Each structure stands twice: as structure tokens, then as C-alpha cells.
Structure 1
Amino acid sequence: MLPLPPNTMDTGPHPLSKYLNSTVEAVFSVTQPHEEVYLVARIEKVLQGGITTCAEPYMKLGDAVKSTQRILQQVPLLCSRLGTYHMAFAWAARPVFQSGGNKLDLTAEFTALYKQERERLSNEELLKILSDFKNIHKAKLQTIPGSLVVDVVPQPPQSKTATLTSSLLPVRSRGRGGGADRDDTDTLSRVSPSCPPCLEVQEFLGGFHAPRIDPHLSLTHHLYVYPVTLKYDSQKAFAKARNISCWVQFKSSDVKGAKALPVIYSSAPGTVFCDGLHTTVLHHCTSPTFYTEVKLSLPIALSPSHHLLFTFYHISCDIAKTTKAKSSIRQPPPETIVGYAWLPLVDEQGRLLEDTHSLPVAANLPPNYLQFTSSKAAVPDVKWVDGHRPIFRVDTRLQSPIYTQDSSLHEFFSLCEQLKHKSGQLQPAVHTALEVSLSLLSPSSLPPLSLVNPVTQIAFSPQRLAGVDLHVILQFLPILLTQLFHLLSNSSKDLETLKAEVVRTLVEVVDKVVEAGRSDLLKSYIEHIFVTRWTSPRPVQSTMTWQDSWSSTSDKVSTRVRNFCSTCGSSSRSC
């Protein structure tokens, strides 16, 4: 359910590129309404110099006509030389919900346009200001003449716009169940050029603190990358490294000449995907703070060679020399490379981790540089900036139904995948998660356990599933239940000693879900996902009612529990 496979993105322009240029609306889902939820707008401009110097012409009280003319005269030259690079300029905010309640505030307006202060670029600094939003007028913030007008309204049941998901897939109209469905058909056939697009914005839920966690129901396989800080104030490797931009790329190989994959959602008009994205530039700063979000549409299967490559550039903003030079003389490019950093996405266990990463920076980029990721010893091929100290900080956030952050659940999926391969080698958990999510595998597809060695390694994992956090269980509930039923219905005699643990795990997982008040998820699983081994691979509800399905399944589980309890000599309560 990704927009386009990577191998089709670089053969020409994306079919949605022109259509998305008319986007003027966005849909935000807010699961936890609160009076301190704010809509923040960051305003950027083409890189020119210091923020204060660039904002001064807009803030001066004088002849507005002359000021406007001077600014317009600079625009062509700036855009032709530095149009690729942006700088922070101003920001504004407005509350989304009414004070003391969770009703949408339809009358609130954006604040004045506040000049961006170079010391307050981080999200943490912005949150400090918003924490006292009622007294923001006392914060002594400089304003830029102008205003920002944005209409904030509830999403109507039948919108006249064509809503696209965060993966640029069209949302079908509401069906009998009352919910909007994601469409897996061709994107262009579901949208009309005369109907302006409306983009869904991904909501990040807070794990334990989220009031309602739902299972992954669509394949939104995204990685969000946030370069945060670079500490270059002590580096001696480069003479000039002050106006620094971070160029983010995603690569599948570290060999010399390997090209970046065009899987990054582009912010430039007329393009949807690109092979790299620049952060904003902070003028004359050797330790810049970044706030740019880089969104990637990840490939389905990831290997240890997939990684993020960060290239740091010094951007020359000296336009004065360019204006004096003759137009016939070719000017040197404004950017100069001042360092590299890289981040493998998959760890040794095959997990894709979201975390805060502190990375060293290298002055050069040798072939096969991934082998030097964890090495702290001196390497002849790599010249480290600032003695291999971790001077670059970057955050990553994963939104995916394929990779889980829980080590126990990841191990369980990996071992289930091992059962499906005659080779007996541990395979990435991505295959199990993907096939169950999209194909709803039948339990009969599981091969005998005799194909796998050793059995003891499999028996360890189900016992640990009971300790998995509830919000993780809810997110991966359909996949987890299906894999447990796979093991339970396997006819191999080698699995008999394991099935008692599988039944215990099934009972504990179901009990957790019921205690959390989410019996609706169990009902949905039985109606739409559960497939019996002794019938054709069709949803159970096509041949019986949900009540009969639940009763039948409960009887089978209860019978299993009684049989295994009598075998092991324990009571059903202790099991």
C-alpha cells in the first residue's frame, strides 16, 4: 500500500506531482484533545544571511514602497544562487481547542508573526514559549508586520475534497461501518483533477499515555528523521564551517558511487519523492540547531546495508562578490562539504529502532564506510572530526506495522518465520508481519516443525509474550493471534510440549485485551481475519454469526486448556 515502488520513482515524474501542487487543506487527527494543543506555523525564506539582518527591511517603519522594491531586486539573484537552501524567518501559533474543554476553537486566530530567534530554534525552546501562551505578549518577542489566516473547522462527514493518507493513498468514502477506508487501488483512478486534494497528517500517539490504541490496519511504512544538533565549535578539520546545512539521504549500499534511493517525500513543488533533503541553514553558527523533518517511505524489506547518510555543507552566502563579477564568468558552487555521518537502520537482531542517536562525524567518506560505524579505534581510511566524539545528534521515529520495537515480540515473530523456511535459518520478522497483514495466511500453510532446529529455541518465546506492554499487544494483535493459532493448530508431535505454553499465552493475551475494555478488537479479528484450517480460506462470519464464532473458538481453547492441564497435572485456574 505504498504510493509507488522505489524502482518506478526514478523513471519519470510522479503521476501525482502536478495534482499535489493545488493542496491547500490538511486533516489532523487529535486523539487527546486539550486546551494546550497548538497549531504552529514556521515561516522560512531563501537563504540570505543572518535572521536579524534579513528581517530588518520588513520591520522598518519608513517608505514601504522603497523597501519592497529593494527586496524584489534581490530575489532573482538570491533564488538563482541559493534557492535550494532555506533559513528560518518567523513563526506563529494558535490554540486548537477551547479553554477548559475539548471542543474545537473555531474563532481563535494566529498570533502575530514573531521573528525567529537563532537561540530558540529547537522544539524544546518553542514549547517553553507555548507553555505560557496566555502571556505570550509579555515575552518581548519581536514581530514582523503581517498576518497568517488559516481556517480550522471540523472535518465534514462528506468532504468535497479528495483526502489522501500520509502515504498519498486515497481514502474511500465512508462505508456501512461508518469508517473511512484506505484504498489499495491505483491512486490516479481514485482522484479527480477538479477536486482539490486534502492531505492527512500522521498522528503520533504517546504509547502508555494514549487513551485508545488501535491495531495497525494499513501499511504506513514511514521513518521520520529529525537532525537536531551539530557541535562544530571545536573542530579543526575545516577552515570554514559556519553556514551549515545537513543533507539527508537514504542508501542501500556503501560502495563507492552508490546512488541514494528516491524515497524521501519532497518539499519542493512539482515533485513528490526525491533522493535527498536539506535542513535549514543558520547563518554564522558553528553549532547549529536543526528542526527540519525528513519523511521516508521505507522499502518493505530492510537489510543491514540500508542506512541514512548525512552530508554536511558549508553554504557561502557572499552575494556581494557575485554581483560584482561579470555574468560571463562562471561562479563556483556555494556549497562545500564539511563532513559526513551515517546511521545503519537495522541492528544485529534485525530490528529497526527509533531512538535518539549521537554519531561521530568523519571528514571524508571512504568506500565501505559502514564497517567503521562502531569502531572507536584509529582507522587509517577515516579521518574523524573532533577525535571521533559523538558531535551529531539525530532523532528517528518509526510508523510501521512491520517492525516492532518490543524485543520479545520481535523474537517471537522471527522464530515463527523460522518455522516457515526449510533452511532453518532465522529470517527477518518483516515477512511474517507483512504476509499476515496483507494475505491473512491460513494456519495450514505452516510446515512441520521437523524442518527447524532447535525446538528449545522456539519454546522460549511464547512465555515472554505475557510481559509485552499492552499498547504493543493492541497494535500487533491480529498478527500475534494469527501466529499463536498457527502454532496451536500445527500437527507436528514435536510441538506438543510447546502447545501448553501457547494456550497459556493465548488466554493471557485475550484476558489483557478484555480487561482493557477492547473486546471489540477480538470481535473484529474473528469476523474479518480468523481463518479455520478445515474450511476454505474465508472469514468465519461468512458461514456463521459472530456469536457462534466466538463460542466455537472459546470451546476449542477451553478444551485445549483442560486437556493440557490434565496432562501436566495442574488445575485450569493455575494454567
Structure 2
Amino acid sequence: MAERRAFAQKISRTVAAEVRKQISGQYSGSPQLLKNLNIVGSISHHTTVPLTEAVDPVDLEDYLITHPLAVDSGLLRDLIEFPPDDIEVVYSPRDCRTLVSAVPEESEMDPHVRDCIRSYTEDWAVVIRKYHKLGTGFNPNTLDKQKERQKGLPKQVFESDEAPDGNNYQDEQDDLKRRSMSIDDTPRGSWACSIFDLKNSLPDALLPNLLDRTPNEEIDRQNDDQRKANRHKELFALHPSPDEEEPIERLSVPEVPKEHFGQRLLVKCLSLKFEIEIEPIFASLALYDVKEKKKISENFYFDLNSEQMKGLLRPHVPPAAITTLARSAIFSITYPSQDVFLVIKLEKVLQQGDIGECAEPYMIFKEADATKNKEKLEKLKSQADQFCQRLGKYRMPFAWTAIHLMNIVSSAGSLERDSTEVEISTGERKGSWSERRNSSLVGRRSLERTTSGDDSCNLTSFRPATLTVTNFFKQEGDRLSDEDLYKFLADMRRPSSVLRRLRPITAQLKIDISPAPENPHYCLTPELLQVKLYPDSRVRPTREILEFPARDVYVPNTTYRNLLYIYPQSLNFANRQGSARNITVKVQFMYGEDPSNAMPVIFGKSSCSEFSKEAYTAVVYHNRSPDFHEEIKVKLPATLTDHHHLLFTFYHVSCQQKQNTPLETPVGYTWIPMLQNGRLKTGQFCLPVSLEKPPQAYSVLSPEGH
């Protein structure tokens, strides 16, 4: 066997694949470390590849402390050293809008929850930078400051800044050269050196001491004095400020965070009157954005029934809390647009018959014919009284209407009056909105018109308007979903609306709409807390309605708000055996499996108790697959456990009174645990409904897996 040559013996026999495998195993394939490999010497099968160790980054603060700057005292020292007294922390007390804090008692909370909630009660820590104005991000040149500084300054106009008049410019120049002028009439300029002007002009005054010998130091001193004379204090501040939309660096001092409000609208519900008065009617208001297809406010429930009608429900309704008697509400709209509608929905006590049958008397009987139809009306009142006594705690959908908010605002804002009276008939067969005003107003502006631009969507400066809604649409039992509502609202804006050909329910609903005052009295927050300036607790309050902005609003949360909204959407019992047809859903917030563990945290609607342990959805008569349009508002406890859950119990309600037939029969159960992996469980759910009662310890189980 021939001997290997000397240079071949020094060649490494390590395969490249083995080197890559070794490196990737030690450094997890980091590209930066592989790039900085430093392989020294030859590599053999029995030696590891030497690699450069990763170096920890330098701690700049520690380095500056341990290595003081060796700079002599001088003018540049302040530019290099960081001033030790630049930052000052000042604690500012936090303002509270309400008379009582929204934060729950600390005894009810876990330690980690208590620490989180303290962020809503602790004082603000304000960091003040004394030398902020010396930084590059500070720009004092705002537009208002510039205008203030420029007051009193002479306006300097140069000949080069004056634009000549195109074609006539040359003719004027030739004419000026031919004319002879005195120095008083001739401005000094490029054309003033003409031979004609020099002959007729007066000599300039001689400059004194022009040829005198003066030391350079004296000349410098005189120049310095002249520069300082009549000098503006902040010469560089006159430089225009940079574009605020494209700043290089922005270090503005932030404002103290406060609760976000959009443009606020005050709605007062004055009266609701039908052609016949035979039973109590319940109403609610909410804002919808048709373009975004989103509900942008919570519901506001109000009761305009007479005391006689309220008396029919006394066996079923507990004494009303003052907070549920509100008839005025403040809506907040962060993104006002031409697509916002104020939707009014009406409900009535459940009775035997579908919605069309129950609405028929309201469409055929007129108030003027009350004497002629006295017997029929008495019979209707007797039937309504019986249903209120037996089914008083159940509701059924009845009617609805909508107001195109921006049309009303823009119409009212164009009037030269302190207030406006507008009558809206949303169900006319003529196919147009109707609007009637006092005879003193000149002309008639159609409510069909729409405007564009920011001015038309301004809710802060329009004149108050009193609206009279004269017609309502009968609610269709199979069109209760939000998707159906958005289609109806979009159709209302068309000239040939399908809704206008429908037979309306005649009524009169009077509403006042006006910009909300800055500090209204007797106002309640969405959590039913009294806002400051609440002199008397017995006065009928005004409710602040929580906004659901159409788009995200990026502001910090400064108030404690722990609310949950539940929207039952639909139920499918079509393939379920049995006679369950008049179906309602009872919703409860539970802290355990026992029936007595229901918590009184569900907000009441109108003319009822402030909080209750259960809420029922409206019943669609003889429908095995009903849609729902309820909004159930829950005040969540600060501390949740694995046993907190929502319990849904489905009942068949017997509208006819029969022997040995209970009023309500349970036909199904389901639930939603409130926590999932320690987090609140929200979103859309498609839940199975069990015929049997939930098993033991069901609250920690998922209904899908049961």
C-alpha cells in the first residue's frame, strides 16, 4: 500500500453532514450562531467543533453607572450627561363620575382579582419630565401659538414673491421703461436701473462714516447691537410646524384617561297611544347600523302604560324599582352615519292566537267608533284581562317601527326655530315619508332626502325635535332575527318599499330627540349607578345606554364594567316528539347545580324589580322552531368559579286553561359553563337540548360532550 502524501494526511476526514448535525444539535439551528462559527485547527472524528460562545448584550444603564463619562466641565457636558432630576412622579386623585364606586367589595374577591380591580381606584401616577422641552420630540410650534407670536410683526413682501400677470407682464415692462418717474413714485427694483429713471431720480443720501477708519472690534460690536435691536424673542419658533400626520417623533404629554363617550343623543319617550286601549303594551329602543349590520347600543326598555293597564299585571309583577321607571335615555354614537336607525319594538302579554290575530283589533277598530263598537271592545277587554291574570309574566312579539335618525337630525338642524314638530308615517301606501310642521314654517322638506358629509352626521348642534310616529309594522313570527331586521331597514330607504304596501297598525308614539346636555341631572349609568348631581333619589331617572361601537375604539378602560349580554337566537324542535309549540326559554345565572343557586344578577326591564333571578324570552304562538329577539343583561360577579354557568330551561306554555294541565311544562335543558381554561367563555354557541334534567355536577361539564 502506497504511503499517503504529506498534504493528504492533513486533510480532515469529517463529513460535512456530520458537522451540520453536530452544530444544529448544540445550537438548535440558529442562523446567527452558525454564521459566527470559528473553527480552529483540523476537525477529527473524535473532537467537537469549537464554536464561539454567545455574548450577553451590554446593560447600558449598568455600564454608564460603572463607567462615568470622563468629560471636563464645560458647555457640552449637559448635552452628554443625563440629568438626574429630569423625572418627577406626581400622584393625582382619580375622579369618580358616580356617587358610589362601581368596584365591588374587596371581601368578595380573590387576591389576584383585587389587585386587578385596584387599577380602577388608585390615583393616577403622572410622570413629569422637566427637560422635555429640550428633547427632539418636543415641538412647541402649534398653529395657535404661531398666530399668537406673529401678531405685531410687519408683513414682508418681496418683489420676487409677486407673481406677474402672464401676457401683460412684458408690455408693462416696456411701458415702464418709456415713462419718466420721480423717486417717490418709483419702487426700487430690477427695472429702476434704467437710464431714463436715473436721469430723473434724486440722489440717495450719503452714508455717514463710510470712509472712516474703524477697528474691526468696533464694527463687530456695532453689528451685534444692530442684530439684537428689534429682534423677535423666539425667532426659530416662527418656522412652520411639521405636518402632524407625519411626525418624525411624537412625545406629546398625554391627557388624563377618562371614560369614552361618542356624540350623545337624548331621547325622551312622551306617550304611546293606540286606537283602542285594552291591554298593556311594552316598548324598547335600540340603535342599529344597517351598513355595518350591527346593533350599536343596548336596549332601553320603557313603560308608557296607564295606571289602569299596569294594574292588570299586578299579580305577576313585583313592586317597580325607581330605576326601571325611566322614560328618557342618553345614547352614545361614536361613528354617526347615514345608516343609523332608531328601532322601536313593541310586545304584549301572551294570549291564544298568532300575532296576526292579536293585532287585527288594533287595525280595524278606530277611536272615533268606540261608541258603536262598545260591546266588542268590552269583550276584548275582558279577554285581555283573563290573559293578563293567567299569562301575565309571558310576552309575545307585537309590532315594530324604525326612525332614520340622520334624516330627522339634518331636517331639524336646518330650521330657524327652537324646536321642531315632525310627524312620521312609516307605513303609508303612498310610498314616501310624510312630514308635517306648523304653518309658520315655509316649505316642506321631504324626509326621503339624504345628505352626505360630516356636517350632516353631527349630533351635537341640531335643534330639538318632537317626533310623532303614527304607524307600526305588524311583527312577523317567522322574521324576528336581526338579519331580517337589516333587510327591512335597508328596504325602508328605497322609494318603492315593500313595507309601505303593508297594512299598518295605527298608533301615536311621541318622542323628543335632542343633543344630550353635558352634565344631565338624575342620570344612571348602564350599571344603574347614580351619576353625580343627583339631588333626589325619588325623581324619575334618565338612563345612560351602553354603546356597542360599530368599529373598535382604542381608549383605555378607566371604569369598572363587568356586564354580560345574552342573545338567544333560535330553537329547532321540528323533529322533537311531543306537543311543545308555545315555547319560552328561561335563562338563569347559577353558581351551583341546586335550583336555589340562581343569582339575582339579571337586570330588570321596565316597571319591575331592579334585578331578578330569571328572564323569559317572548313566545311565538304555535311555532316549534321559533326565533328570538331578546337581550338579557347580566351583572357578572367579580370572582367566577368553575361552577358558575348559564342554565337554559325550555318550557311549553299552555295558553288554554284546561284541567290537570300545568301552566308551563319543561321540555328541555342546556347550559354554558362560564369559564373555560380560566377565561370567560363568550361567542356564539350551538347547544344540544336534553329532554332530561342535567346530571349531577353538570356545571363543570360541557353540554356537547354530555
TM-score band by shorter chain is: 0.5 to 0.7
**Separation of aligned partners in 2, 1:16 and 1:220:** 27
Compared CA separation, residues 284 and 16, structure 1 to 2 (3 A) = closer
Query: For 1:116, which of 466, 469, 475 is the aligned residue?
Result: 475
1:336 aligns to 2:336 (yes or no): no
Secondary structure, counterpart of 1:26 in structure 2: strand
Compared CA separation, residues 16 and 70, structure 1 to 2 (3 A) = closer
Equivalences, count: 338
**Separation of aligned partners in 2, 1:53 and 1:197:** 37
Give the letter for the 1:213 counterpart. Answer: Y
**Separation of aligned partners in 2, 1:123 and 1:310:** 21
Q: Which residue of 1 aligns with 2:333?
A: 30
**Separation of aligned partners in 1, 2:607 and 2:106:** 20
1:363 aligns to 2:698 (yes or no): no
Give the letter for the 1:262 counterpart. Answer: P
Q: Which residue of 1 aligns with 2:566?
A: 225
1:293 aligns to 2:631 (yes or no): yes
Compared CA separation, residues 92 and 169, structure 1 to 2 (3 A) = same
Compared CA separation, residues 137 and 247, structure 1 to 2 (3 A) = same
1:261-340 correspondence runs (5 A): 261-267=599-605, 269-319=607-657, 332-340=661-669
Q: Which residue of 2 aligns with 1:145?
A: 506
Give the letter for the 1:79 counterpart. Answer: C
1:45-444 correspondence runs (5 A): 45-48=348-351, 49-60=353-364, 63-64=369-370, 65-66=373-374, 67-97=376-406, 98=410, 99-100=450-451, 101-104=456-459, 106-107=464-465, 110=469, 112-135=471-494, 137-139=497-499, 140-159=501-520, 161-172=521-532, 190-193=534-537, 195-206=539-550, 209-210=551-552, 212-236=553-577, 239-254=578-593, 256-267=594-605, 269-319=607-657, 332-348=661-677, 350-365=678-693, 366-373=695-702, 376=705
**Is contact 2:354-2:620 (8 Å) kept?**
yes
**Separation of aligned partners in 1, 2:575 and 2:393:** 28
Secondary structure, counterpart of 1:112 in structure 2: strand
Compared CA separation, residues 194 and 343, structure 1 to 2 (3 A) = closer
**Is contact 2:526-2:544 (8 Å) kept?**
yes
Secondary structure, counterpart of 2:557 in structure 1: coil
Q: TM-score, normalised by structure 1?
A: 0.55
1:137, CA displacement in angstroms? 4.6
Give the letter for the 1:363 counterpart. Answer: L
**Is contact 1:118-1:282 (8 Å) kept?**
yes
**Separation of aligned partners in 2, 1:252 and 1:34:** 42
1:88, CA displacement in angstroms? 0.3
**Separation of aligned partners in 1, 2:383 and 2:395:** 15
**Separation of aligned partners in 1, 2:104 and 2:347:** 30
Give the letter for the 1:102 counterpart. Answer: C
**Is contact 2:343-2:401 (8 Å) kept?**
yes
1:311-333 C-alpha deviation (Å, 9 max, x unpaired): 000011115x5xxx8xxxxx753
Give the letter for the 2:530 counterpart. Answer: P
**Separation of aligned partners in 1, 2:390 and 2:564:** 31
Compared CA separation, residues 274 and 194, structure 1 to 2 (3 A) = closer
Secondary structure, counterpart of 2:457 in structure 1: coil
Secondary structure, counterpart of 1:311 in structure 2: strand
Secondary structure, counterpart of 1:128 in structure 2: helix
Secondary structure, counterpart of 2:569 in structure 1: strand
1:289, CA displacement in angstroms? 0.3
Secondary structure, counterpart of 1:132 in structure 2: helix
1:195, CA displacement in angstroms? 3.5
Give the letter for the 1:82 counterpart. Answer: L
Q: Which residue of 2 aligns with 1:42?
A: 345
**Separation of aligned partners in 2, 1:23 and 1:16:** 15
Give the letter for the 2:588 counterpart. Answer: Q
Give the letter for the 1:215 counterpart. Answer: P
**Separation of aligned partners in 1, 2:389 and 2:348:** 14
1:293, CA displacement in angstroms? 0.5
1:505-563 C-alpha deviation (Å, 9 max, x unpaired): xxxxxxxxxxxxxxxxxxxxxxxxxxxxxxxxxxxxxxxxxxxxxxxxxxxxxxxxxxx
**Is contact 1:93-1:110 (8 Å) kept?**
no
1:253-305 C-alpha deviation (Å, 9 max, x unpaired): 12x44420000001252410000000000000000101110000000011121
**Is contact 2:589-2:613 (8 Å) kept?**
yes
**Separation of aligned partners in 2, 1:58 and 1:343:** 41
Between 1:52-61 and 1:41-50, the stretch displaced more is: 52-61
Compared CA separation, residues 296 and 3, structure 1 to 2 (3 A) = farther
Give the letter for the 1:114 counterpart. Answer: F
**Separation of aligned partners in 2, 1:232 and 1:288:** 9
**Is contact 2:582-2:624 (8 Å) kept?**
yes
**Is contact 1:93-1:111 (8 Å) kept?**
no
Root mean square deviation, CA, Å: 2.7
**Is contact 1:112-1:146 (8 Å) kept?**
yes
1:110, CA displacement in angstroms? 3.6
Is there any run of 5+ residues in structure 1 with no aligned partner, and where? 9-14, 174-189, 326-330, 380-575
Compared CA separation, residues 218 and 265, structure 1 to 2 (3 A) = same
Compared CA separation, residues 153 and 300, structure 1 to 2 (3 A) = same
Compared CA separation, residues 69 and 137, structure 1 to 2 (3 A) = farther
- Who wins on radius of gyration, i.e. which is larger? 2
Compared CA separation, residues 6 and 246, structure 1 to 2 (3 A) = farther
Compared CA separation, residues 268 and 30, structure 1 to 2 (3 A) = closer
1:138, CA displacement in angstroms? 3.4
**Separation of aligned partners in 2, 1:45 and 1:203:** 27
Give the letter for the 1:152 counterpart. Answer: I
**Separation of aligned partners in 2, 1:43 and 1:61:** 19
**Separation of aligned partners in 2, 1:277 and 1:153:** 33
**Is contact 1:45-1:87 (8 Å) kept?**
yes
Is the helix fraction higher in 1 or 2? 1
**Is contact 1:94-1:111 (8 Å) kept?**
no
**Is contact 1:38-1:93 (8 Å) kept?**
yes
Secondary structure, counterpart of 1:262 in structure 2: coil
Q: Which residue of 2 aligns with 1:539?
A: none
Secondary structure, counterpart of 2:381 in structure 1: helix
**Separation of aligned partners in 2, 1:126 and 1:202:** 21
Give the letter for the 1:91 counterpart. Answer: W
Compared CA separation, residues 219 and 315, structure 1 to 2 (3 A) = same
1:467-498 C-alpha deviation (Å, 9 max, x unpaired): xxxxxxxxxxxxxxxxxxxxxxxxxxxxxxxx
Secondary structure, counterpart of 1:125 in structure 2: helix
Q: Which residue of 2 aligns with 1:431?
A: none
Is there any run of 5+ residues in structure 2 with no aligned partner, and where? 1-100, 109-317, 411-449
Secondary structure, counterpart of 1:146 in structure 2: strand
**Is contact 2:394-2:616 (8 Å) kept?**
yes
**Is contact 1:113-1:148 (8 Å) kept?**
no
**Separation of aligned partners in 2, 1:37 and 1:334:** 41
